[in-house]
Structure 1
Amino acid sequence: MKKALFIASIFFGFQQIQAQNFTRKDSLQGGLREERTCYDVLRYDLNIKINPTEKSVVGYNEIKFKIDDDTQKIQVDLFDNMKIESIVWNNKKLNYKREFHAVFIDFSEVLKKGTTHTITFNYSGNPLVAKNAPWDGGFVFNKDKKGNPWIGVAVQGTGASLWYPCKDSQSDEPDNGATIKVAVPNGLMNVSNGRFISSTDLKDGYTRWDWEVKNPINNYDITVNIADYVHIHDHYEGLDLDYYVLRENEEKARKHFDNDVKPMMNCFQSKFGKYPFYEDGYKLVETPYLGMEHQSAVAYGNKYKKGYLGMDLSGTGAGMFFDYITIHETGHEWFGNSITSKDIADMWIHEGFTTYTETVFIECMKGYDQAMKYINGQANNVRNDKPIIAQFGVNREGSGDMYYKGSLLLNTIRHIINDDVKWWKLLYNYSETFKKQIIDTKTVVDYFNKESGIDLTSVFNQYLTTTNIPRLVLSKSGNKLNYQWENVIPNFKMPIDIMINEKTIRLNATTFKQELKVERKVELENVEVKTKQFFVRVEKK
């Protein structure tokens, strides 16, 4: 399992996080109580049958785990609309108590620290059907043009325990990976994470498709994809590239994926390090919903269009030469799947960095100016409705600004550092240092501070924990240009670049008014603030 590097959640200057009314159900799903922290998941072995007509799941999950602290009770999670058939340990059925989606399992003896155990959790039921996947969690039961079932699942945020029993927390991932064995009606294929192992005709009208994941994997990344798929195989510098697409789309898929995937892998590996899951390969799997970053089986539903369903979310046109879903969801292989946040309150660690990978790809392919055009176009999508970091321990994400504002924060930090050699090295080493680990915001801030040699704490604080965009206030008196930050947290400091007469000048601005000597003839309106490099507002008075 991947254990969080920092057990304590950090609250460093949460100026604008408002108290909300959370329930026992919320804390059971999002919290880390003793019944969760007392054990570490080592492996999941999932074996289920999915009936498309009944929209049902039946089977079991074998959960192998190690005891970290002596205990006689553990918490495993399964949504309360799903039926528990039995929970078996050492050939004995265990007693359990359900409370909302939490299942508290009692053992007949104390499980000692350091010992390893396996339970078989047998279950059945009709998992939730998504109304609008992937924005709400659940299964999608659709059909292809020939009327064949086409099924997928997306559960990020809602919880993987929506459809299979697990320790449903990002704080723990199975060290030794997982097997996903899924029986589906004959004539259909199931594609899951990792490597294809085998298929077995069960002689009951169903064929079971077996997949194995070698790497640690986040609960919400484990997936099923059921359809009449065609398999397209390719490779890139030793990495297997596999595409599973609807039969009717084979020809267009071959051309479409070839355009983006290899250039993307070349770019991302140069900027973020080797693809993290070589042992499990890389797959794009066509889905009846838009997309999701399912590890080594990325869900693809962009209908073979450029941009985002044929649109550029930046509004600039700079993002129309590539397939948004391919680039964004694959970026998550490094940021989200490899580097994972301990709590979904810190999901900007996934989404801010991954949104930035779009800009990085554009810079790789089209250069710096087009990249800046794209990322600044995204600024129009920032809402500043609530802080990016949410409350911990209650299974809540913060503002959707974690995407665009999170990316703009990274772009701002790049230009604070003001040394692209150092910046790309920092980003590469960040990806490699925390590869396949679980971290929190404090970990990110401490690392960026150390590697940049700059105290960026107040900058992270400002953008992640408040809704206020820093405002640089400029005024002029005689030959003095006055400048200071307003609309910021106490002790905020951030350098920023301005241009006067085509000369770049760095201002080490703080919340205190400072002065810069300039020529008397310089007019305030001719002072240009580099707002394309720094996500700030400017007021001249």
Structure 2
Amino acid sequence: MKQLLLFCVTFVSIQSLSAQETFTRKDSLQGSLRHERTCYDVLRYDLNLKINIDDKSIEGYNDITFKVVEHTQKIQVDLFENMRIDSIVCNSKKLNYKREFLAVFIDFPNDLTLNSIEKIRFYYSGNPQIAKHAPWDGGFVFTTDKNGSPWVGVACQGTGASLWYPCKDSQNDEPDQGATIKVAVPNGLTEVSNGRLTGTEDLKNGYTRWDWEVKNPINTYDITVNIANYTHIHDQLEDLDIDYYVLKHNEEKARKQFDADVKPMLTCFQQKFGPYPFKEDGYKLVETPYLGMEHQSAVAYGNKYLKGYLGSDLSMSGVGLSFDYIIVHESGHEWFGNSITSKDIADMWIHEGFTQYTELVFIECQKGYEKAMQYAKGLQRNVSNDTPIIGPYGVNKEGSGDMYPKGALLLNTLRHVINNDESWWKLILKYSETFRHQIIDTETVVAFFNQESGMNLTPIFNQYLRYTTIPKLEIRSHKKKFEYRWVASEPHFAMPIDITINGEIVRIYPTNDWTKSKQTIQNLDDVEVHTNAFFVKVSK
């Protein structure tokens, strides 16, 4: 949710954007899939850290277990330049390495055997980047609660998980066998990470280590730490474990707020998108000193126990105040973003567009179709059309923040293009289940929707994802009838759309050429375009 609400008001063309934007070697090292990255497949991360809250520092190591999938003697692991490398060890021998920006190129004494399983222990320490305005800029947050107790969290989506631990910092590779996160914090505090708590240990030095384990693959930016004077609330939804870690003085508020939305949300999403994708790791909400983030199985919550988005309605429709936005949105990412992940952050609409669409789905589950469409209509005001939703590939660059509302409105439009709710919900469910725990790209999404719908939806995807213009339906009088056509940036754009004429719903099939209607009208006011269901402009 990093770019939420950061909508620009400056309109630029694709051509001028390409001319103005330049990228550096640093961008390529972080965003590209070089041989030193693709030659190995991460199987597991095992983090063992101590966090010193007083001096805001980290020390420890990450065991990185990987499979060699291409012949190599060198691999790239990532760690921000301000973090110190103490040593990198394999088979009890220190390895040589070279640093270039965040990239750490590690040399092995011999060629690694193809298909072999290797493990390095990466010792490091330092003061991680501090976020100035988490979660919009990546880094740690060191603060205190209202009683003066330490309250620590981290959010690093987009910036990179390597700002605080060594990893292959690319969405293209997740540890197939999960991770352990063992974090030592001052006695008296609770540390919460992803997955399930496997134990605690008093280290007899003023610190207690909290051990967590994730059984499922996990995005690097989803791995997290949370430190505070927490109280633990446990609940269940059938056989799914639900856990809340909230500041002790907020327990009563948390119980009331979470009871209202969490189980209805999980019930709705499991019906529409399939079973919760990380049942083995459980579902958690963890109160954080920043607004929120989709940390897998440890969803960050900082909405101050208010309805809507910090008490406001993003859609300005009134409907958005009927639920806690952060609970619904960030939990929706468990299906879209955490279970289904984009290979490159240029395709982050696969996370954010689908997840903002889950808000509409939840509203429809709770309030009905008409309320969901009111919310959708309201989201249209949040679309800036500043730059394309899809960003440049290979340079760690996201596209426009329009990936949220415009991505959701694209999906809502596709639902009505398909024009069969039974087919639509089957398609969405199959999409979620087909690509469960997989890493995909835009082309994969489009091909799947084309195949399952039996329609050529590619021009529609292209228009909304690759251009800054919204398709415009032009309508003009022609004797006692009317004519219509699409004006769009995508060549040969065509999309069916519903209109109402004198109380009758009619589906028309505009193209780029003027088409004469079959219906008669008195004037153009008799033609009402369904702009709640279809995100389009209309010109009469």
Into which bin does the TM-score normalised by the smaller protein fall?
over 0.9
Structure 1 counterpart of 2:273: 272
Asked if structure 2 preserves the Cα contact closer than 8 Å seen for 1:15 and 1:466, the reply is no
> Deviation at 1:273?
0.4
Over 3 Å counting, the alpha-carbon distance change for 1:336 and 1:155 in structure 2 is: same
Map 1:448-463 → 2, pairs under 5 A:
448-463=449-464
Structure 2 counterpart of 1:175: 176
Q: How far apart in 1 are the matches of 2:317 and 2:534?
A: 18
Q: How far apart in 2 are the matches of 1:171 and 1:517?
A: 51
> Deviation at 1:175?
0.6
Q: Deviations over 1:12-71 (max 9, x none)?
A: xx8786242100000000000000000000000000000000000000000000001110
> Deviation at 1:518?
2.3
Asked if structure 2 preserves the Cα contact closer than 8 Å seen for 1:16 and 1:465, the reply is no
> Deviation at 1:487?
3.2
Structure 2 counterpart of 1:471: 472
Q: Which amino acid aligns with 2:539?
A: E
Structure 2 counterpart of 1:338: 339
Unaligned runs of 5+ in 2: 1-13
Map 1:195-344 → 2, pairs under 5 A:
195-344=196-345
Q: How far apart in 2 are the matches of 1:527 and 1:462?
A: 24
Is 1:381 the counterpart of 2:382? The answer is: yes
Q: How far apart in 2 are the matches of 1:456 and 1:505?
A: 21
Q: How far apart in 1 are the matches of 2:530 and 2:355?
A: 24
Over 3 Å counting, the alpha-carbon distance change for 1:328 and 1:451 in structure 2 is: same
Structure 2 counterpart of 1:161: 162
> Deviation at 1:522?
2.8
Determine helix, strand or coil for the equivalent of 1:320. helix
Q: How far apart in 1 are the matches of 2:270 and 2:311?
A: 27
> Deviation at 1:517?
2.2
Structure 2 counterpart of 1:424: 425
Asked if structure 2 preserves the Cα contact closer than 8 Å seen for 1:245 and 1:285, the reply is yes
Structure 1 counterpart of 2:3: none
> Deviation at 1:507?
1.2
Q: Which amino acid aligns with 2:532?
A: K
TM-score w.r.t. the length of structure 1 is: 0.96
Structure 2 counterpart of 1:371: 372
Is 1:538 the counterpart of 2:538? The answer is: yes
Q: Which amino acid aligns with 2:39?
A: C
Map 1:77-156 → 2, pairs under 5 A:
77-156=78-157
Structure 2 counterpart of 1:71: 72
Q: How many residues align?
A: 526
Q: How far apart in 2 are the matches of 1:494 and 1:16?
A: 28
Q: Which amino acid aligns with 1:225?
A: N
Asked if structure 1 preserves the Cα contact closer than 8 Å seen for 2:304 and 2:310, the reply is yes
Asked if structure 1 preserves the Cα contact closer than 8 Å seen for 2:49 and 2:184, the reply is yes
Identity over aligned pairs, percent: 68
Q: How far apart in 2 are the matches of 1:195 and 1:518?
A: 62
Q: Which amino acid aligns with 1:207?
A: T
Q: How far apart in 1 are the matches of 2:481 and 2:230?
A: 69
Q: Which amino acid aligns with 1:261?
A: V
Asked if structure 2 preserves the Cα contact closer than 8 Å seen for 1:498 and 1:505, the reply is yes
Is 1:527 the counterpart of 2:536? The answer is: no
Q: How far apart in 2 are the matches of 1:316 and 1:518?
A: 33
CA RMSD after TM alignment: 1.0
Q: How far apart in 2 are the matches of 1:461 and 1:69?
A: 34
Q: Deviations over 1:454-486 (max 9, x none)?
A: 100000000000000000011121144211111
Asked if structure 2 preserves the Cα contact closer than 8 Å seen for 1:188 and 1:227, the reply is yes
Q: How far apart in 1 are the matches of 2:274 and 2:107?
A: 44
Structure 1 counterpart of 2:6: none
Q: Deviations over 1:384-405 (max 9, x none)?
A: 0000000000000000000000
Over 3 Å counting, the alpha-carbon distance change for 1:332 and 1:360 in structure 2 is: same
Structure 2 counterpart of 1:350: 351
Q: Which amino acid aligns with 2:274?
A: G
Asked if structure 2 preserves the Cα contact closer than 8 Å seen for 1:300 and 1:325, the reply is yes
Q: How far apart in 1 are the matches of 2:156 and 2:348?
A: 14
> Deviation at 1:145?
1.5
Determine helix, strand or coil for the equivalent of 1:432. helix
Q: How far apart in 2 are the matches of 1:64 and 1:491?
A: 49
Asked if structure 1 preserves the Cα contact closer than 8 Å seen for 2:496 and 2:507, the reply is yes
Asked if structure 2 preserves the Cα contact closer than 8 Å seen for 1:479 and 1:517, the reply is no
Asked if structure 2 preserves the Cα contact closer than 8 Å seen for 1:16 and 1:467, the reply is no
Map 1:180-195 → 2, pairs under 5 A:
180-195=181-196
Q: How far apart in 2 are the matches of 1:103 and 1:512?
A: 56
Asked if structure 2 preserves the Cα contact closer than 8 Å seen for 1:17 and 1:391, the reply is no
Asked if structure 2 preserves the Cα contact closer than 8 Å seen for 1:469 and 1:536, the reply is yes
Q: Deviations over 1:299-319 (max 9, x none)?
A: 000011111111111111101
Q: Deviations over 1:213-233 (max 9, x none)?
A: 000000000000000110000
Over 3 Å counting, the alpha-carbon distance change for 1:16 and 1:388 in structure 2 is: farther
Q: How far apart in 1 are the matches of 2:46 and 2:488?
A: 52
Q: How far apart in 2 are the matches of 1:454 and 1:509?
A: 15
Structure 2 counterpart of 1:483: 484
Asked if structure 2 preserves the Cα contact closer than 8 Å seen for 1:16 and 1:466, the reply is no
Determine helix, strand or coil for the equivalent of 1:261. helix
TM-score w.r.t. the length of structure 2 is: 0.96
Q: How far apart in 1 are the matches of 2:527 and 2:214?
A: 56
Determine helix, strand or coil for the equivalent of 1:509. coil
> Deviation at 1:251?
1.3
Q: Which amino acid aligns with 2:182?
A: K
Q: How far apart in 1 are the matches of 2:224 and 2:207?
A: 19
Determine helix, strand or coil for the equivalent of 1:425. helix
Q: Which amino acid aligns with 1:537?
A: K
Map 1:43-54 → 2, pairs under 5 A:
43-54=44-55
Q: Which amino acid aligns with 1:534?
A: F
Structure 2 counterpart of 1:362: 363
Over 3 Å counting, the alpha-carbon distance change for 1:481 and 1:15 in structure 2 is: farther
Structure 1 counterpart of 2:11: none
Determine helix, strand or coil for the equivalent of 1:319. helix
Q: How far apart in 1 are the matches of 2:75 and 2:483?
A: 61
Asked if structure 1 preserves the Cα contact closer than 8 Å seen for 2:317 and 2:375, the reply is yes
Asked if structure 2 preserves the Cα contact closer than 8 Å seen for 1:285 and 1:300, the reply is yes
Determine helix, strand or coil for the equivalent of 2:510. strand
Asked if structure 2 preserves the Cα contact closer than 8 Å seen for 1:475 and 1:524, the reply is yes
Q: How far apart in 1 are the matches of 2:511 and 2:183?
A: 58
Q: How far apart in 2 are the matches of 1:387 and 1:267?
A: 31
Map 1:6-25 → 2, pairs under 5 A:
18-19=18-19, 20-25=21-26
Asked if structure 2 preserves the Cα contact closer than 8 Å seen for 1:293 and 1:333, the reply is yes
Asked if structure 1 preserves the Cα contact closer than 8 Å seen for 2:463 and 2:488, the reply is no
Q: How far apart in 2 are the matches of 1:229 and 1:154?
A: 19
Q: Which amino acid aligns with 1:368?
A: Y
